A and B are shown apart, each in its own frame.
Chain A
């Protein structure tokens, strides 16, 4: 997990699979998602955000890599923000990802399972889900702008949506 950047730094940090990164204005956090789900938490008044890159829905008790699983990533992201003095009250969530990348649709529909698990984890943490761009069959590139809390979603270079 990365420490918060100072306000003087302008950077875009890439958040890899299973990682959790936080940043403050004017920093940006980006991730490329397929079946994974990106959870962006943002505090509008304090202009600080965090991004978790969730790979799988359930940790089944594993605690070694909390950013990897939906059920452990949300508490870990909250904890990381709290370390930097960001309270849970006032945080809003936006999520993206959870695609099914392969045509061969087998029993392992992990993208959909990830979406459901992330929604459940946010509900359990009592965090409002303000926007989402999930499902489908194409990859996404997301950028959380900590200057204003927008989540830019680029769908495989074809379209762009701002959440």
Chain B
């Protein structure tokens, strides 16, 4: 098998691994939102560093985000992103209140959003830990409003240091079958990426 075919097969198997983690995260998210929200893994691919922001349509739009890091040598970042409207709607729905029109976010709204990120990340990392046989421990989540591209840059750095090809997992969020403008960006560092590849090597 040539290197392109091997790479393609690895991505295919990696897709299966991450789809299983996404499935568990989706089940947790559905429970947290009373069946409102589900997730699907739409794509796993590699692409050049300079194309990632454009591919994810992350430019100069200000986004609301929940950020978690993975502690330890098998590290990485998980970032849940929303536009302002979707973030407000989710917070209102979780708090069972009307959408807040005040430009400032209340601590309760921030807490609702960070808890969503926490539930999502814990379910995802728990499944991934089991699948690769290594402990993955997410930090406490925090709320952030900034340019999506700025946050993505720093998350990509560990992979950028190792090469020019970035592993990208595209996840879709759905509410009653309708696509939502939410994203979850999971960027494993080089060691975790190797750990995942090692776990799937026997399947290739």
Could you tell me which A residues sit within 8 Å of B by CB distance? 14, 16-19, 30, 32-36, 55-56, 64-65, 68, 99-104, 106, 108, 110-111, 138-141, 156-157
Contact = CB atoms under 8 A, between A and B. Distances in A.
Interface string B132-173: 000000010010111101111110111011001000000000
Given A34-B147, A138-B150, 20 more contacts: A16-B50, A16-B53, A17-B53, A18-B49, A32-B147, A32-B150, A34-B149, A34-B151, A36-B153, A65-B49, A68-B164, A102-B77, A104-B69, A104-B139, A108-B158, A110-B157, A111-B154, A156-B145, A156-B150, A157-B62
Contacts of A16: 50-51, 53-54
Interface string B45-73: 00001111110000110100001010000
Contact of A14 (B59, B147, B154): B59
Contacts of A110: 154, 157
A64 to B, nearest CB: 7
Nearest to B166: A17
By secondary structure, the B interface counts as helix
B67 A56 contact: no
A139 to B, nearest CB: 3
A141 B53 CA distance: 14
Interface of B: 49-54, 59-60, 62, 67, 69, 77, 139, 142, 144-147, 149-154, 156-158, 160-161, 164
Given A32-B59, A56-B160, A17 B49 contact: yes
Nearest to A143: B60
A110 B158 CA distance: 10
A25 to B, nearest CB: 23
B139 A35 contact: no
Contact of B157 (A14, A55, A139): A55
16 contacts: A16-B50, A16-B51, A17-B52, A18-B164, A19-B50, A34-B146, A34-B149, A34-B152, A36-B153, A55-B153, A56-B157, A65-B49, A99-B150, A101-B150, A103-B67, A140-B150
A99 B157 CA distance: 13
Contacts of B49: 17-18, 55, 65, 68
Nearest to B153: A34
A32 B149 contact: yes
10 smallest beta-carbon distances between A and B, as pairs: A139-B150, A34-B150, A34-B153, A139-B147, A32-B149, A101-B154, A35-B154, A139-B146, A16-B50, A104-B69
Given A64-B164, A102-B67, A102-B77, A35 B50 contact: no
